[in-house]
Amino acid sequence: MQYIGSVYLVGIQRQAAGRDPDASRLAAGAFVGTVIVTAIVGLWLVGVSAAVPAADLAGTKGTAIGPLADQVGPAMGVLGGIASVLLLGMNINRGSVAVHALALERLTRWSGRWRTALALVPVLLIFAVAEATLDLGDASFSSVLTIAGVVTNVLVGIAVPMLIVMAARRRGELVPPRVWAWVGWPGLAWALVAASLAALVVVGLFVWDDWASRAAALAMAVLGAVTVVWAVRAGALRRRTVVELLPGRWAVVVSGRPLAVDAELEYDGRSPERVHAAGGPVAEGLRELRVRCGDASGAGAVDVWKADAAIATKVVVSDRKERGARRGGVGGRS
């Protein structure tokens, strides 16, 4: 479960945005936390493997608390039982919150209590399937988490982050002060996406032996492939130019990088100011910002982003071929 922390970063940032607006401390904390948790889990695996014979672990259905208690004593059973209940509760709570939040994002046509109630339906369905599986004796709590963890974390922990990085590099409006170029390299990103889908197919065909687990792994592989194709066709990875108008400054970002452009700033009661830059300061009384991106942008779409809907400044975007101003509007950071 330590590899799916990215699912909860959006909700955490909403709470921490006031103290950490650029999310730099959140990113650093998430990185350090992931490293520490990975080390703890690795030490746990080494300790369990050293304390319990491999044959006992191979024949265990459920957690390793039972075999550990046989080797260490009753105290391990008590501590392990408490830890299992707490960890299961935390995982169930976090998973339920994430599913509920995703459902709320899709139910845009509803409002109020009905929207909240309908968003609970996917959560209740997941609980119903898990409970039915347990009642039929086909699985334990740990096996349910194992199956769900493998079939979802392979995509959520590998494929989805790489797609998000590629989308941010091609369509993002914020340029961080430090960028690791190799992380968003398309060859590496697509290789990891393909490897994650292939891993699900291998697990479904050759690793698991019961029909339910195999069906879950293969279904998730198909769903992941369909999602990737849908995202590409929907333009999630299409390069774009973003013209930003922020309090006190303006900027132009193309495919996640600053781009120097020919800009003209018209103020009330003074002559226009012409500059060639990727951004600059904005004084009081700015009436119109004209930006000529040119063919160097190479982006298929141009968006105008205003930090505040109250900004009355008109923004006009064109290129040297005079294809006219592109799509613009007022929006927020995604």
Burial class of residue 61, CB neighbours in 10 A (0-12, 13-18, 19+): exposed
Strands (E), the chain: 240-246, 249-254, 257-258, 261-267, 273-277, 279-281, 286-292, 301-306, 314-318
Distances 303 to 80, 171, 249 between C-alpha atoms, Å = 54, 10, 17
Least confident of 7-21, 33-47, 209-223: 7-21
* Whole-number average pLDDT of the chain: 79
* pLDDT attached to residue 325: 36
The pLDDT-based confidence of 332 (bands split at 50, 70, 90) is: very low
**Which residues, other chains included, contact 296 with Cβ-Cβ below 8 Å and sequence gap of 6+?**
259
What does the pLDDT average to over 48-66?
80
97 has a pLDDT exceeding 50: yes
Helical ranges in 208-268 per DSSP H: 211-233
Please check the confidence at residue 330 and state whether its pLDDT lies above 60: no
Kindly report whether the global pTM for this prediction surpasses the value 0.95: no
Q: d(Cα 69, Cα 66) in Å, to the nearest integer?
A: 5
Quote the CA–CA distance of 201 and 83 in Å, as a whole number: 33
* Strand pairing category for 249-254 and 273-277: unpaired
Q: Is 138's pLDDT higher than 70?
A: no
Tokens encoding 172: 């993002």
Residue with tokens 């930006």: 291
Task: Taking residues 237-244, report their average pLDDT.
Answer: 86
Q: Using alpha carbons, list the distances in angstroms from residue 42 to 46, 96, 285.
A: 6, 27, 59
